[in-house]
Structure 1
Amino acid sequence: MSLRRLLKSFVDAIRGLKHVFKSEQNFRIQVLVGFLVLAAAVYFPLRSWEVILIVLLVLLVLLVEILNTVFEYFSDLLKPRLHHYVGVIKDVMAGAVLLTSLVATVVGIIIFYPYLENLLK
């Protein structure tokens, strides 16, 4: 692959991320929460594996939200009149985002709880 094609791929990917950021309110909220969680991970003396897990979970939530957006756009191409599963697909993807966010939240609480408890003492 030439350097020019590689650069174009990066530009295209960044354009896609910008589009999701501009068009999806939930993604913007998740990015904000992700930055806050990452700031907390820097502030507290977390172990290396805790930081790695936090970073991976933040990225996983954002990735699932991006995939949800892709499925929504694709489903909108089909329109509900073409197939009754379009609404089901959207609901399932929204459920995937919710489940991922809940798991990330629970893991975050488990990791940060001891540090927050010490901070509040």
Structure 2
Amino acid sequence: MKDNKFVRGRIKSVSYSFIGAYRLVTSEHSIIVQFFIGLAVTAAGFYFDISATEWMLQTLAIGMVMAIEGANTAVEKICDFIHPDFNPKIGFIKDIASGAVFFAAVAAIVIGAIIYYPKVAMLF
């Protein structure tokens, strides 16, 4: 029976999102690593008392990397489900999805360097 109530439907959608995020963070090694890097950078933000703008950029960078990594994981799972054996076309698709994560990670590293290099340099 389909639930046609708008609010109930949105609550269900959010609960599915939380379940998906939990599954992602507890089962995928790359996301687990990125999650802890995000926590470490967040702790650094408190330590260095970064500005509101820096917090926004840092939060955006962390969210961007984790979201694209989640999409990459979904693409890989779908590819493995559709064609579990090696296939060059599936490999190409997986490489492209992984490349998207690479771009996001490089952008996040640049943002982190812009925020933290001057602060760390002041310590020495």
Q: Shorter-normalised TM-score: what interval? A: 0.7 to 0.9
In structure 2, give the amino acid aligned to 1:13: S
Q: Which runs of 5+ in 1 are unaligned?
A: none
Verify the 8 A CA contact 1:80 1:86 in the aligned structure 2.
no
Q: Paired residue for 1:110, among 103, 114, 120?
A: 114
> CA–CA distance in 1 between the matches of 2:47 and 2:118?
14
Distance 1:41 1:72, change over 3 A: same
Cα distance, 1:17 vs structure 2: 1.0
Pairing of 1:87-98 with structure 2 (within 5 A): 87-98=91-102
Correspondence 1:4 to 2:3 = no
Cα distance, 1:81 vs structure 2: 6.2
In structure 2, give the amino acid aligned to 1:76: D
> CA–CA distance in 1 between the matches of 2:120 and 2:86?
51
CA deviation profile, 1:55-111 (whole Å, cap 9, x unmatched): 100000000100001111111232166964211011111121122112211220121
Verify the 8 A CA contact 1:64 1:96 in the aligned structure 2.
yes
Verify the 8 A CA contact 1:80 1:87 in the aligned structure 2.
no
Q: Paired residue for 1:75, among 74, 79, 86?
A: 79
Q: Paired residue for 1:24, among 11, 28, 36?
A: 28
Cα distance, 1:8 vs structure 2: 1.6
Q: Paired residue for 2:70, among 50, 66, 70?
A: 66
Relative contact order, higher structure (CA 8 A, sep 6+): 2
Structure 2 length-normalised TM:
0.86
> CA–CA distance in 1 between the matches of 2:86 and 2:106?
33
Cα distance, 1:45 vs structure 2: 2.7
> CA–CA distance in 2 between the matches of 1:88 and 1:44?
42
Q: Sequence identity, in percent?
A: 32
- Root-mean-square deviation (Å): 1.9
Q: Paired residue for 2:48, among 27, 44, 47?
A: 44
Deviates more, 1:26-35 or 1:98-107: 98-107
> CA–CA distance in 2 between the matches of 1:76 and 1:100?
23
